[in-house]
Amino acid sequence: MATLEFWFDFGSNYSYLSAMRIEALAREKKVHVIWKPFLLGVVFKALGWQTSPFILQKLKGDYTWRDMARQCEKYALPWQQPSSFPRTALLPMRVALIGADQGWIAPFARRMMTMNFAADRDIDNIEAVSEALEELGLDARAVLALALTQDNKLRLRRQTEQAQALNLFGAPSFINAGELFWGNDRLEDALLHAAASRR
């Protein structure tokens, strides 16, 4: 089966749009999605930005929130502009790595994204993450213990370094056969490219 890497951050609003849509679209194209959480803030700092460009550039930020409302209406997704942006999501990102190992990263990611961008909730805490895990029928305490090991913390750091080595500069980003596609509006193009590479 063809594969597509999906690089995302739980604090990224456009990653929300892709996270909620990618699995269904990928099934249609017979493409396997490889979920790749990484710390977008680290990438931004390496580029000389202390926070999101949507904060640094007010006009771009104002446009983005209107655009998100339109896009969520288009895709029939719930939306509430976050009262805090970009939200820190270090703990759920570490948990997502365990989900990638164990096969439940997609529903976990959708739940975390919905908490952030539809319910306007802080997600970087044990309570929110445990709630999401328990809704999936998982042992939250056991998963969190794995997520908080030094080895797993190092894995997230190394995966972020890998994103930088791949010259990623934003999220969501999609990679297939060395070809980079950036932004939710390139999700379908990325899936088409992945499907074509299978042939």
pTM: 0.96
**Preceding peptide of 37 cis, ω within 30°:** no
Backbone angles phi, psi at 27, to 5 degrees: -60, -40
pLDDT for position 61: 87
Q: What is the CATH number of the domain that holds 9?
A: 3.40.30.10
Domain count, the chain: 1
pLDDT for position 141: 98
| Residue ranges of the chain with per-residue pLDDT less than 50 | none
pLDDT for position 49: 82
Rg (CA), the chain: 16
pLDDT for position 39: 97
- Residue 10's domain comprises 2-198
Q: Measuring CA to CA, which residue among 13, 16, 15, 54 is closest to residue 163? A: 15
- With vertex at residue 159, the alpha carbon angle to CA 96 and CA 51, rounded to the nearest 5 degrees, is 85
CA dihedral (160, 163, 164, 166) in degrees, to 10, reads 160
Those residues whose C-beta lies under 8 Å from the C-beta of residue 193, and which sit 6 or more positions away, are 176, 177, 179, 181
pLDDT for position 30: 96
DSSP structure string for 19-88: HHHHHHHHHHHTEEEEEEE--HHHHHHHTT-SS-HHHHSHHHHHHHHHHHHHHHHHHT------SSSSPP
pLDDT for position 199: 66
pLDDT for position 47: 86
